[in-house]
Chains A and B, each alone.
Chain A
Amino acid sequence: MARVVNSRLRLLLLLVFLAFAVLFVRAAWIQTVRASSLAARAQEQTKTTVTLPAARGTIFDRLGAPLALGEQATTIVADPMQIRDPRHAAAVAAKVLGLDARKLYPLLADRSRGFVYVERKAPPAKASALARRKLAGFDFYPEERRVYPQRTVAAPVLGYAGIDNTGLAGLELQLDKELSGTPGEATVIRDALGRVIDTTNERPARNGHDVFLTLDHTIQANAEQVLRDTVRRWHAKSATAIVVDPRTDAVLAMATEPGYDANTFPQALAKGLEANHAVTDVFEPGSVFKVVTIGAALSEGLVTPETTFTLPYSIRVADRVIHDAEPRPTERMTVAQILQRSSNVGTVTIARNLLGEARLKEWIHRFGFGERTGVGFPGESAGLLPSYWSGSTIGNVPIGQGISVTAIQLASVYAAIANGGVWVQPHLVDHVQGEPRPVLRRRRILSPRVDRQLLAMLKGVVSDQGTAQAAEIPGYTVAGKTGTAQKPGPNGYMPGKYVATFVGMVPARHPRLVVLVSVDEPKGAIFGGVVAAPAFARIASFDLQYLEVPPDLKLPRP
């Protein structure tokens, strides 16, 4: 009996031993022969390649205030094939994200697709709230959203970066290469719980470069407010203002009204508000262009500020009659008075009888008209010069009609006059992070002597004898020129439609600012001296105080 029991025990032990032997051989087989292939399969299941997003560069104003920057947002996507109840999922997601469930439901119910966007670049707080609901089939990943925190300030100049963070308009487009970074890549290995346990083959992202503008957000905002008030006051179609430091031709402000919130660019585009009129639009400048004719005649030695002419109220040039703005008897005027009182007859007399067509054309080019300034904005216009000069063209162009210019061209010409006769390339960008400052084009267009003469004459414009008394600023000498130009249409000049302009330099003795204001189709008054000059005075007064430019006239008693 004992022998039988012993043999059964031995058999049982043998069976147990054999079972463990099989398990042991199997384990050894897996960990030796199959080890590498199983390890590779495990890595495939746990390893993913991820893109490391690159941040877009920030656009700063001259004082370091960010005007365009990226903010963290969360993009929410879904896999409809994993969503069992798309109606419920759409209702929950719509409620949390503030979307329309009726538009969301068809996307989530479409089982033919494995990927749909629920919302691109949603606010992180809302995305987190949705993530906490743990809806099956939903995934979340961070994306950068471009924001313009100062909203309306410099919106047409900044432009817009679209949903994919590429520049679509304005400086965002012009500087897209500098602002855009290069995404990186990494291979990430996760454990069974999805936690990252290793990162390999990492190529880091290169963030975009920051850009520093010459704009000052305070000067810009003030100019925009003044334009808003001016457009409202004169029921104008639009208005433009440019503020420039003539010593460097750095653009401190470039304003357009009506404006818009840069964060709502698509809506502004739909309404046609997105254009930066100061650079892309042309207009006939009118009398502000007379500095070119007079400056040319002075430079050629044909006249001095004291040269006198006997001028009737009107003259005939080919088939046209040119007359002054205000009826008057025939009188003698000096060149200084011709500019001060903006005499069309006087200017055309100098151009036709002394300067001549050939020299006037030469000087128009010398002043930079007919070519882009290179201010660094997409779509900059070169202006329009007459391609053919008829007999009457010499009666138009010298007084700024029959020729089209941009506001930035005009501002840069007056900046040259304010800068001792040296034209410097106007610019919006001071520098790009990590890159050398751009080299600006410079050229002398007027001799220092002629420039001083011109500046002195332009001071006379801003006086009770001139056309721009409304441009006076207490405590400061001001020099400038008014312009009131008819607007051309398909059938000649449009009755009742004018562009009123004033360009001023202050303080006139050593100008620190050049301010151009141009108002399109004002109603009730049309003259530059009435519509644009007061806006200049408001903008310049603020800027002088803000920049702490001391008065150059006798100080008032406290």
Chain B
Amino acid sequence: MAAFALLLTGVVALNVAVLRANMAVHRLDEERAQLEARNQALSSQLSAARSAPRIESLARKLGLVPAPASDTSYLDLGRP
């Protein structure tokens, strides 16, 4: 009788452990999905921040202007 009770207790404990593991897996799945969504949102923000029109607009507000090509000098390091 005691052995039977012990066996039943073991089965119940196993089932409870499986249920808890399933719930944990589901929680981790949800967390992964949230992290992926956050990652996508950050990628989108980064791309928007890197866009040339935005950078140019900010630069102009700071008083910067595009450097004319004729103002660029090159040094030939091919000869001493």
Asked whether, in the complex, the Cβ of B40 is within 8 Å of the Cβ of A544, the reply is no
Complex interface bits, B64-76 against A, C-beta within 8 A gives 1, otherwise 0: 0010111011111
| Complex CA–CA separation, A557 to B74 (angstroms) | 8
Q: With contacts A153-B53, A196-B22, A221-B53 known, is A71 near B40, CB below 8 A?
A: yes
| Any A CB within 8 A of the CB of B7 | no
Bound Cα distance from A464 to B19, whole angstroms:
84
- Is there contact, CB below 8 Å, between A196 and B26? yes
Interface: B48 (CB within 8 A): yes
Is the contact region of chain A dominated by helix, strand, or loop, or is it mixed? Answer: mixed
Question: Which residue on B lies nearest to A474, using beta carbons?
Answer: B70
Chain B nearest CB: distance from A509 CB in Å? 16
Give which listed residue, B51, B66, B74, contacts A551 with CB less than 8 A: B74
Contact assessment for B69 and A541 in the assembled complex, using a CB-CB cutoff below 8 Å: yes
Interface positions, chain B 12-50, Cβ under 8 Å from A, are 19, 22-23, 25-26, 33, 37, 40-41, 43-45, 47-48, 50
Name the contact of A150 in the complex, choosing from B51, B74, B75 (C-beta under 8 A). Answer: B51
Find the B residue at minimum CB distance from A189. Answer: B22
B80 to nearest A CB, angstroms? 15
Contact residues in B for A551 (Cβ distance below 8 Å):
74
Find out whether the CB atom of A221 lies under 8 angstroms from the CB atom of B52.
Answer: yes
Are the C-beta atoms of A150 and B40 separated by less than 8 Å? no
Asked if A149 contacts B44 (CB within 8 A), the reply is: yes
The interface residues of chain B lying within 8 Å CB-to-CB of A555 are: 73-76
* Residues in A52-77 with C-beta less than 8 Å from chain B: 58, 65-67, 69-72
- Known: A474-B69, A558-B73. Contact between A66 and B44, CB under 8 A? yes
Contacts of A71 in B (CB 8 A): 37, 40-41, 44
Interface size class of B (residues with CB under 8 A): 20 to 34
B41, B51, B74: the one contacting A217 at CB < 8 Å is: B51
Given A58, A221, A474, A541, which contacts B51 in the complex, CB threshold below 8 Å?
A: A221
In the assembled complex, which residues on chain A have CB atoms less than 8 Å from the CB atom of B48? 149-151
The docked-state distance in angstroms from the alpha carbon of A153 to that of B56 is: 13
Give Cα A225–Cα B50 distance, bound, in whole angstroms.
16
In the assembled complex, the Cα of A147 lies from the Cα of B72 at a distance in Å of 37
What is the chain B residue whose CB lies nearest that of A195? B23
Shortest distance from the beta carbon of A464 to any chain B beta carbon, whole Å: 18
Please indicate the chain B residues that have their CB under 8 angstroms from the CB of A465 in the complex.
none
Q: Do A65 and B47 touch across chains, with their CB atoms under 8 A apart?
A: yes
A312 to B58: give the CA distance in the assembly, Å: 56
Assuming the contacts A65-B50, A197-B23, A222-B52, asked whether A545 and B45 have C-beta atoms less than 8 A apart, the reply is no
Tell whether, in the assembled complex, residue B22 and residue A147 are in contact, meaning their CB atoms are under 8 Å apart. Answer: no
* Distance in angstroms between the alpha carbons of A58 and B44 in the assembled complex: 10
Q: How far is the CA of A217 from the CA of B37 in the complex (A)?
A: 24
- Across the interface, which residues of B come within 8 angstroms of A66, CB to CB? 43-44, 47
- Residues of chain B within 8 A (CB-CB) of A198 are 19, 22
Chain A's closest residue to B26 (CB) is A196
A266 within 8 Å of B (CB atoms)? no
The answer on a CB contact under 8 Å between A151 and B51 is yes
Q: Give B75's nearest chain A residue, CB to CB.
A: A558
Minimum distance in angstroms from A60 CB to a CB of chain B: 9
Q: Return the chain A residue nearest B44 by Cβ.
A: A149
Cα–Cα distance between A542 and B67 once the two chains are bound (Å): 9
Min C-beta distance of A507 to chain B, whole Å? 13
Q: Who on chain B is nearest to A73 by CB?
A: B37
CA distance A488 to B42 in the complex (A): 49
Closest to A228 in B: B53
Whole-angstrom distance between the alpha carbons of A65 and B43 in the complex? 9
User: A225–B53 contact, CB under 8 A?
Assistant: yes
CB distance from A300 to the nearest CB of B (A): 40
Q: In the assembly, what is the distance between CA of A102 and CA of B41, in Å? A: 32
CB contact between A149 and one of B22, B51, B69, B74 (< 8 Å): that residue: B51
Q: Which one of B26, B40, B74 lies within 8 Å of A475 (CB-CB)?
A: B74
| Cβ of A193 to closest chain B Cβ, rounded Å | 11
Q: A67-B47, A550-B74, A551-B74 are in contact. List 12 more A-B contacts (CB 8 A).
A: A69-B47, A70-B40, A142-B33, A147-B44, A196-B22, A196-B26, A197-B22, A199-B26, A218-B52, A222-B52, A224-B53, A544-B69
Which 6 pairs, one residue from A and one from B, show the smallest C-beta to C-beta distance?
A72-B37, A221-B52, A541-B69, A149-B48, A149-B47, A150-B51
**Interface pairs (25), CB distance under 8 Å:** A58-B43, A65-B50, A66-B47, A69-B47, A70-B40, A71-B37, A71-B41, A124-B37, A142-B33, A149-B47, A150-B47, A150-B53, A196-B23, A197-B22, A199-B22, A199-B25, A221-B51, A225-B56, A544-B69, A545-B69, A551-B74, A555-B74, A555-B76, A556-B74, A558-B73
